[in-house]
Structure 1
């Protein structure tokens, strides 16, 4: 062991060698040196599937216990031998200046790919002086350096998995849990073993997001570098099991209306209805419980807003992503000190937004007093969409029109549509569905609700009913019933044909929707004639 430590010390002394030396670390060849990661499931488990999340460094194995029938989400990363572990620990202590990438003025503006490239160059130069280090060992060591300094540390592999929607660390010594789109809530093999390890992790996340975390302010809501939302509790004062965190993953590519149709959250007929409503400035609330798909539905349906419309979005944490150029995204800001000096809340953002002449106001989530200003905006003619936590349309009305929100009943009728989102079981599998779409009408001194689309859980089908909103739109445009019907049918046909041709990529969907607005007959002709060519849109 002393010889090993001596080797590490010798290497550490060479870390800050002058730049400009030639690279000597050979290229890793899997055929010659073997795979970086291998895994064989224990006898008591059946391997259901495995897939790469960071090839060739990390993959995921979904295991099923043969007796208990419980799933396990097993992260497989490179295993280090004693020498590699000791060398990695020494590098973590000595590479501070290298990791900070001296000579780069604004590291935060670099892409992760560029950071990785610069880091690899530096580490390669340093390790190349240690002639006994094989390329396979270099790659394993570099994986952990990159993972912990550029990516998301111990949960990096999970954060790379597009199948994961949420992940939760409930305390020290407790396995991290994830919500997998195919397997629901699953235990993982990732564990933070000590208070020091977990505290250091959440502190680093807070610092990287530019926020403050301490025993005085032990609760933090913030956004990670990739846009994912994280809630942190620090220490054991508010969380007896130790620090904890909950991450809501941000989709790298926004969900489109075509995705929601393919997943049967909505039907193409329902999407055509929402499309026409968005074009005509109707006010919509997407409501439901936690993780029911409220914001995803809001974001997708807002793609139907015409591209030249002026939009202002207001959020606590940045989630809404739009293709529109005439769009101002705004976010709240915490204040400084005990008096919260300089704080900017949704109420402040709403007041400022109304001075910017928006045609559409999109509010990430309405919770309290800002609802009154939101409904004032609706009554002043600003089209508005938002999300709200509630279980039923009637509960939405009751919560808005009673303390502590207290929106006057007369103002509430400016809301046109309530879309209830739910996370339900379909054939034993958890799926997101739009349980009911309800239109809001006023009748003397009360608010009435009229169902337009209702989900039937037994058949997993949607029942359509009459719509008074569509009648309003028909009257506004002076359309006949046939003209209204044709407008909706064309929109539905477009969505069906796009899905039929596999057009679900975000940029492609944006392009086809925009082309349809400009020349609907030509686009429909292209999509019904066979294999559509995007170049022919123009």
Structure 2
């Protein structure tokens, strides 16, 4: 075999590696897997693993595993299904992400949450479920974590017990280990969709009605500044991705993110990502630095993946100084809360202005706030579409154009509700039509747009 290690130690007499007497009659699946894994490590020439093509590696691991199972582990009672699963998981241990590999390859899984080595949760269709997968122990979990963070040039240990990283496919990873986590290493993975959703998919899923999809397309083409607000996991980045599709191909787009998640399909895109400080506490590049730098890059559109700090000031300044058509997301429960958070962030940036002046600055920069939410049945919906109309005294004035009204729950737990148009024609409609974009005459008539 191409990568057999000829200097590997021989197995113990009888063909089996040494093991406690108690295991001969009570072999566990994980014991077999870890012992088989250790035996493969002994036999393989590890220096050749990284250069070997994935398919060749998989085939060779399968052949050697089968040989070991037949020769050295023949007294272990495993049926054919268990043997196939064992070989597959051994491959994942050596080249992939161990017990997490099936979930990383499962398109129905959105999040993978490892609370302890033996409690792995996944999110499917907005609902969390406990899986049967587990790591052998905390050391096994820590080994997989090290493999993930080392591939992106990061490290996690007692001096740096918290790390954000990315998998090769762009999936976002967060790790926190003892002494900060009390029960062992904790791993969270927000998966990166290989086939990103389109606006038509959101309409098909009834996350938005068709008419609202049309208005979203038009306000992007009409270069309105849009703020997408919502909670964690509500779909803010997904909607931002969908809206970005309607930016014309001849415009220069600069994206700024903490962890690169956006999947823009235009050709003229510059992607920027923040950088954390190194072990000496130097070299950090924050979002605010990137937003400032982007203004020198002649952007037609600026997209900020998530506004969470002092970069809000520079983003709003860009929106107020000719960079219209910008998009951003923010964590907030309501459109009004989103504007309050922006005001707080501007104070964090040291912007020395009165509260009234800050609010006027925000109201002149943002045109539309889109609120999305994950409902109790796990579905994600746009629950409010509001236009900022200006100021009245010390208050930013807003008017809700479209909304989702929840009416109750069906017997199967699904949310029942309806999308409604409030019967208000937004002020931005004149700006949109002045750019040659025609809006249907009955689009803003007060009515129920879609029942769910």
Whether the TM-score (by the shorter chain) exceeds 0.5 is yes
- For 2:337, the equivalent position in structure 1 comes to 395
- For 2:354, the equivalent position in structure 1 comes to none
Give the one of 404, 410, 435 matched to 2:360: 410
Distance 1:484 1:247 in 2: 41
Q: Is the 8 A contact 2:255 2:302 kept in 1?
A: yes
1:234 equivalent to 2:185? Answer: no
Distance 1:96 1:196 in 2: 24
Distance 1:476 1:409 in 2: 28
Aligned ranges 1:112-131 → 2 under 5 Å: 114-115=53-54, 117-120=55-58, 122-123=60-61
Distance 1:157 1:364 in 2: 28
- For 2:427, the equivalent position in structure 1 comes to 468
Change (3 A) 1:375 1:239: same
Q: Is the 8 A contact 2:121 2:128 kept in 1?
A: yes
SS in 2 for 1:328: strand
Give the one of 118, 133, 140 matched to 1:197: 140
Report how far residue 94 of structure 1 moved.
3.8
- For 1:442, the equivalent position in structure 2 comes to 390
Q: Is the 8 A contact 1:167 1:179 kept in 2?
A: yes
Distance 1:282 1:205 in 2: 40
1:484 equivalent to 2:444? Answer: no
SS in 1 for 2:296: helix
- For 2:404, the equivalent position in structure 1 comes to 455
Q: Summarize deviations over 1:340-394 as a string: whole Å, max 9, x none.
A: 2x22221121122111111111111000100100011101111211110011111
Give the one of 333, 336, 357 matched to 2:275: 333
Report how far residue 279 of structure 1 moved.
0.6
Report how far residue 475 of structure 1 moved.
3.6
Q: Is the 8 A contact 1:232 1:244 kept in 2?
A: yes
Report how far residue 172 of structure 1 moved.
4.1
Give the one of 236, 239, 243 matched to 1:301: 243
- For 2:305, the equivalent position in structure 1 comes to 364
Distance 2:337 2:91 in 1: 48
1:247 equivalent to 2:189? Answer: yes
SS in 1 for 2:293: helix
Runs of 5+ consecutive residues of structure 1 not aligned to the other structure: 10-78, 105-113, 490-538
Q: Summarize deviations over 1:84-121 as a string: whole Å, max 9, x none.
A: 7644320034435266244x6xxxxxxxxx42x13135
Which one is further off, 142-151 or 162-171?
142-151
Change (3 A) 1:447 1:199: same
Change (3 A) 1:145 1:191: closer
SS in 2 for 1:356: coil
Change (3 A) 1:220 1:129: closer
Report how far residue 474 of structure 1 moved.
2.1
Give the one of 193, 203, 206 matched to 2:149: 206
Report how far residue 438 of structure 1 moved.
0.6
Report how far residue 431 of structure 1 moved.
1.1
Distance 1:265 1:370 in 2: 30
Q: Summarize deviations over 1:282-301 as a string: whole Å, max 9, x none.
A: 11111111111111111111
Distance 1:435 1:127 in 2: 53
Distance 1:326 1:251 in 2: 22
Aligned length, in residue pairs: 399
Change (3 A) 1:96 1:398: farther
Name the TM-score, length of structure 2 as normaliser.
0.80
Distance 1:128 1:179 in 2: 34
SS in 2 for 1:7: coil
> Which structure features the higher share of helix residues?
1
Q: Is the 8 A contact 2:222 2:435 kept in 1?
A: no
Q: Is the 8 A contact 2:65 2:87 kept in 1?
A: no
Q: Summarize deviations over 1:260-314 as a string: whole Å, max 9, x none.
A: 1111111111111111111111111111111111111111111111122211111
Q: Is the 8 A contact 2:222 2:431 kept in 1?
A: no
- For 1:278, the equivalent position in structure 2 comes to 220
- For 2:95, the equivalent position in structure 1 comes to 150
Question: What is the aligned-residue RMSD (CA, Å)?
Answer: 3.1
Q: Summarize deviations over 1:162-215 as a string: whole Å, max 9, x none.
A: 221112111244x21121217x12111123342222222222221123211110
Distance 2:206 2:104 in 1: 26
Runs of 5+ consecutive residues of structure 2 not aligned to the other structure: 1-9, 18-27, 75-79, 352-357, 408-415, 445-452
Name the TM-score, length of structure 1 as normaliser.
0.68
